[in-house]
Structure 1
Amino acid sequence: MTQQSKPVVTVLTAPGEQQPPGMDALKARAEVRFACDEQTLRDTLPGTDVMMVTDFRTEALEAAWPCADKLQWIHATSAGVDALMFPGLIESDVVVTNARGIFDRTIAEYVLCTILMFAKDFPNSIRLQHRHEWKHRDTERAEGKQVLVVGAGSIGRQIGRLVRAAGLQPHGIARTPRHDDPDFVAVHGNDDLFNQLPHYDFVVIAAPLTPQTEGLFDHKAFKAMRNSARLINIGRGPIVKTDDLIVALEDGEIAGAALDVFEEEPLPKGHPLWDMENVIMTAHMAGDFIGWKRALTDQFLENFDLWHKGRDLFNLVDKRLGYAGSK
């Protein structure tokens, strides 16, 4: 294959970010360009066949979109693709794939970890240790607790599978109800969410950010939950209205929250969530394991091989729904 006949791949990274590891294998088969903002996208998009997106700044891609004269396929190196779903892309023939499958198990491990931390009161144990204070307490049993996974897709399924193995009882929320799912006791429809919320000890948000889920967890949702319930959000920050969550935590409408994603990231230093003793927080890292960047590149290369051979891609995203379909 001559240099002229090689496909062109543009990789969009954050300014100053290093190239994704493992790109040498791609460079042998394609002309690889790199962009990090609107101007570099305007320079690199003409003639580009494929994009690999590691930085999700919709404004830059949307602004440079008229320069995408040959683009056929965009691969997002994340499960969520909400930041890419601007009208020009949605209306175009460009297909979108995502990184579904890479982070599913590690996110499920994070969820199980936070459930056990709440049940065994580990946040208080750590605070007592820092104060050199010996204080015996009784803690909860996790076995038999009821878990509602809002978003029973690829990640939600792994969460259901893992917490069920630990003796908890997972139910799911999805577009289509199903009662014969091997990973859930039952999966309820989206319209049944508020009827289901009062019945669970842990409510896990694993849904993608879409117009339907943005702000879904507000004061109404928190009032519907048990006073003893804990919220776990590993989905997207804007699904939760942060101000309403703070009021619910302060007023005892829910007992606690474990948050990996936030409406504003990084969370400002003076934000009240930092000092709330019934809150566990991490810096948008629930799924990130040692070696995840290389795993993302390897997944893209596997799909690139299919595209290069004219075969069907995996992890195709429904651009109007905003997420990949079920396996």
Structure 2
Amino acid sequence: MEPIEQEAAVRYTDADGLADALRDADALFVYDFLSTAVPGAWHAANRLRWLHIASAGVDPVMFPAMRESDVVLTNSRGVFDNSIAEYVLGQVLAFAKDFARSIKLQRERTWLHRESERIEGRSVLVVGTGPIGRSIARLLRAVGMRVAGAGRTAREGDPDFGTVHASARLNEHLPEFDYVVAVAPLTEQTKGMFDASAFAAMKPGARFVNVGRGELVVTGDLVEALRAERIAGAALDVFDTEPLPAESPLWTMENVHISPHMSGDFVGWRNALVEVFADNFRRWRAGQPLVNVVDKGLGYVPSGG
């Protein structure tokens, strides 16, 4: 932030001081991308022109007053694409090679020979066709998996997904896939899209991976699907309540892999987020077009945005 401090008056604040810091501010950098403080302080944004959030998802700042304002919204698209793709590949391998059970047996000093699954030739549906979804598709395709996408518009011949199915018809296509990866942005259309009907439509042996938003999933329906073995397992990095409550049954399910919202967090990610903001700040000061401008009607950066 030092170069920015030489060109602008920078105020650092926590949630409690946000309203005071917002008064007469031209730009707001929401570095704590999980913070819910912005709506409550919005009344003080008397001259704000630009808001940047340190994440790809923008749902924490997509409240009605922000949507209706003239404030330009940008995000940090691109920082986490490859690291999240690596996480997804790791979870696919963990399921196929039964790593969790191997670790458990090692701790018990038990020698138990088993056979594992191949991932080559297995089918994957990536729900969300933005940059993170594309990175996931490319990496899984590189190890021999058959990949398709699900997005707003159905199409053929996509360079990364091949076939893209319409998300509105998701349940019709879920039975075709061995793995389903959720990475869609959280919008009114995607909230709760993975519910009882979606899990019932999946293959009994399918695995579900969520690296998008916890609210994409109806958690109670997922728990019931896992208990009833309607799906074979789930790898969850995001939850509708974070931290995941200690009483959640997900903690103790043997067919569930849990991580604390860290799928994209590689060594150096914090600095990388500031660098994205700093680059856009330089553009803003020079009167150049900003990158990663969010369409506030859609809730994400359109392709090429």
Q: Tell me the TM-score range normalised by the shorter chain.
A: over 0.9
Task: State whether residues 37 and 60 of structure 1, in contact with CA within 8 Å, keep that contact through their aligned partners in structure 2.
Answer: yes
Number of residue pairs aligned between Structure 1 and Structure 2: 304
| Aligned: 1:306 with 2:259 | no
Q: Normalised by the size of structure 2, how large is the TM-score?
A: 0.97
Aligned amino acid, residue 249 of structure 2: P
Q: Which of 15, 22, 25 is 2:3 aligned to? A: 25
Residue in 2 aligned with 1:106? 83
Residue in 2 aligned with 1:115? 92
1:51-83 Cα distance to aligned partner (Å, 9 max, x none): 100224665322221211111100000011101
Deviation at 1:26, TM superposition (A): 1.2
Aligned amino acid, residue 5 of structure 2: K
Change (3 A) 1:315 1:279: same
| Aligned: 1:166 with 2:171 | no
Residue in 1 aligned with 2:174? 197
Q: Structure 2 regions of 5+ residues with no counterpart?
A: none
Q: Which of 102, 109, 116 is 1:125 aligned to? A: 102
- SS of the aligned residue for 1:212 comes to coil
Deviation at 1:270, TM superposition (A): 2.4
Residue in 2 aligned with 1:142? 119
CA distance in 2, matches of 1:37, 1:123: 39
Q: Would you identify which runs of 4 or more consecutive aligned residues in structure 1 move more than 2 Å? A: 55-60
Q: Where do 1:88-107 residues align within 5 Å?
A: 88-107=65-84
Residue in 2 aligned with 1:220? 197
- Name whichever of 179-188 and 227-236 sits farther off: 179-188
CA distance in 2, matches of 1:185, 1:92: 38
Residue in 1 aligned with 2:226? 249
Residue in 2 aligned with 1:43? 20
Change (3 A) 1:42 1:191: closer
Deviation at 1:188, TM superposition (A): 1.2
Residue in 1 aligned with 2:296? 319
Deviation at 1:46, TM superposition (A): 1.6
Q: Which of 273, 282, 291 is 2:250 aligned to? A: 273
Residue in 1 aligned with 2:43? 66
CA distance in 2, matches of 1:83, 1:215: 17
CA distance in 1, matches of 2:142, 2:241: 34
Task: State whether residues 56 and 84 of structure 1, in contact with CA within 8 Å, keep that contact through their aligned partners in structure 2.
Answer: no
| Aligned: 1:81 with 2:58 | yes
Change (3 A) 1:276 1:57: closer
Task: State whether residues 236 and 257 of structure 2, in contact with CA within 8 Å, keep that contact through their aligned partners in structure 1.
Answer: yes
CA distance in 2, matches of 1:293, 1:263: 23
Aligned amino acid, residue 4 of structure 2: L
CA distance in 2, matches of 1:225, 1:304: 45
1:95-147 Cα distance to aligned partner (Å, 9 max, x none): 10001000000000000110011111111111111111110101111000000
Aligned amino acid, residue 118 of structure 2: R
How many percent of aligned residue pairs carry the same amino acid?
52
1:187-234 Cα distance to aligned partner (Å, 9 max, x none): 111222111100000000000111111111111000000000000000
CA distance in 2, matches of 1:211, 1:184: 24
Task: State whether residues 36 and 61 of structure 2, in contact with CA within 8 Å, keep that contact through their aligned partners in structure 1.
Answer: no
Task: State whether residues 150 and 166 of structure 2, in contact with CA within 8 Å, keep that contact through their aligned partners in structure 1.
Answer: yes
Aligned amino acid, residue 231 of structure 1: F
- SS of the aligned residue for 1:238 comes to helix
Deviation at 1:88, TM superposition (A): 0.7
Task: State whether residues 33 and 55 of structure 2, in contact with CA within 8 Å, keep that contact through their aligned partners in structure 1.
Answer: no
Q: Structure 1 regions of 5+ residues with no counterpart?
A: 1-22
Residue in 2 aligned with 1:294? 271
1:265-302 Cα distance to aligned partner (Å, 9 max, x none): 11122221111110011000000000000001111111
CA distance in 2, matches of 1:191, 1:78: 26
- SS of the aligned residue for 1:31 comes to coil
Task: State whether residues 171 and 187 of structure 1, in contact with CA within 8 Å, keep that contact through their aligned partners in structure 2.
Answer: yes
